[in-house]
């Protein structure tokens, strides 16, 4: 989402996958652990006699989140490669970024292909993650198992928990939940039309296609309004994490809108 690399630390993990360099900062593992701790503790309590310890479940959760977010960023990176850009991936804090290696090749795009390419690149991350979820659900359903995604409307819309299906064993239930829930929620969250999420980038490109001069301003207003709405929803449900995160995004959209309104006609400077 940003052009700048987060600072390197001596505890960074480096590896290559399908030709992309991946760096994982220690904060990534830490944030995944913080988010998953109560979920792991809850499952450990539920499973009682055959339960592994919370620590083992937490480790499994962190690995599942790692896989899911890595696939999200690989989606962006593969799309960048398709448009002739090499990319590297950094996983840090609450997610990851795919950074194009050479910005010049990106800027060199013709004005007709650039918004189109940008939309495909931004959408490829959430789409890759949703495809992972779909593959897991299809696999489980072929085995005749019920699937609980922890997102009620997904369960009911796709009849994932219908009665004629067998309940998976508790360890399999945990694995399915740990893979599906972060993948679906992270993908859907990222498709919201809010800066600097993928959906915010897509909205900006779409708005710019319709109005060269006002597109970015309109997309910033949409971003602000949506972020306020999600923050209010989180507040109302007592979900302080959601309320604070989207409150901060609303504030940053508001600031960008103020700054942008002072420079009408300027092309906008928000990297991915």
Residues binding Zn ion (CB under 5 A):
125, 198
Distance in Å, CB of 213 to Zn ion, minimum = 28
Residue 125 vs 234, nearer CB to Zn ion: 125
Distance in Å, CB of 139 to Zn ion, minimum = 24
Distance in Å, CB of 272 to Zn ion, minimum = 8
Distance in Å, CB of 153 to Zn ion, minimum = 22
Distance in Å, CB of 43 to Zn ion, minimum = 27
Do residues 98 and 125 make contact, with C-beta atoms less than 8 angstroms apart? yes
Residue 57 vs 78, nearer CB to Zn ion: 78
Q: Which residue is nearest to Zn ion (CB)?
A: 125
For residue 174 the two structure tokens come to: 């945990």
Do residues 198 and 219 make contact, with C-beta atoms less than 8 angstroms apart? no
Residue 103 vs 172, nearer CB to Zn ion: 103
Residue 133 vs 160, nearer CB to Zn ion: 133
Rg (CA), the chain: 20
Residue 1 vs 60, nearer CB to Zn ion: 1
Residue 18 vs 142, nearer CB to Zn ion: 18
Distance in Å, CB of 186 to Zn ion, minimum = 9
- Distance CA(21)–CA(87), nearest Å, equals 8
Residue 93 neighbours by CB under 8 Å, 6+ apart: 6, 25, 27, 28, 31
Residue 125 vs 200, nearer CB to Zn ion: 125
Distance in Å, CB of 129 to Zn ion, minimum = 9
């Amino acid at each position: 989402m940003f052009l700048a690399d987060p600072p390197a630390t001596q505890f960074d993990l480096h590896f290559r996958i399908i030709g992309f360099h991946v760096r994982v900062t220690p904060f990534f593992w830490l944030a995944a652990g913080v988010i998953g701790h109560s979920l792991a503790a809850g499952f450990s309590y539920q499973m009682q006699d055959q339960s592994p310890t919370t620590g083992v479940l937490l480790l499994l959760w962190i690995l599942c989140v790692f896989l899911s977010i890595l696939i999200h960023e690989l989606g962006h990176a593969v799309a960048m490669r398709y448009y002739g850009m090499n990319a590297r991936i950094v996983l840090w804090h609450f997610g990851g970024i795919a950074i194009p290696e050479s910005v010049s090749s990106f800027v060199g795009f013709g004005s007709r292909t650039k918004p189109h390419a940008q939309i495909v690149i931004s959408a490829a991350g959430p789409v890759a993650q949703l495809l992972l979820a779909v593959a897991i659900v299809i696999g489980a359903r072929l085995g005749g198992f019920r699937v609980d995604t922890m997102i009620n409307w997904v369960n009911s819309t796709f009849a994932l928990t219908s009665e004629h299906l067998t309940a998976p064993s508790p360890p399999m239930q945990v694995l399915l939940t740990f893979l599906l829930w972060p993948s679906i929620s992270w993908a859907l969250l990222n498709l919201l039309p809010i800066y600097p999420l993928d959906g915010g980038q897509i909205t900006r490109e779409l708005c710019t296609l319709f109005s060269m001069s006002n597109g970015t301003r309109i997309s910033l207003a949409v971003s602000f309004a949506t972020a306020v709405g999600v923050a209010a929803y989180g507040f109302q449900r007592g979900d302080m994490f959601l309320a604070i995160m989207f409150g901060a995004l609303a504030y940053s959209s508001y600031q960008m809108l103020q700054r942008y309104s002072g420079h009408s006609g300027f092309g906008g400077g928000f990297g991915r």
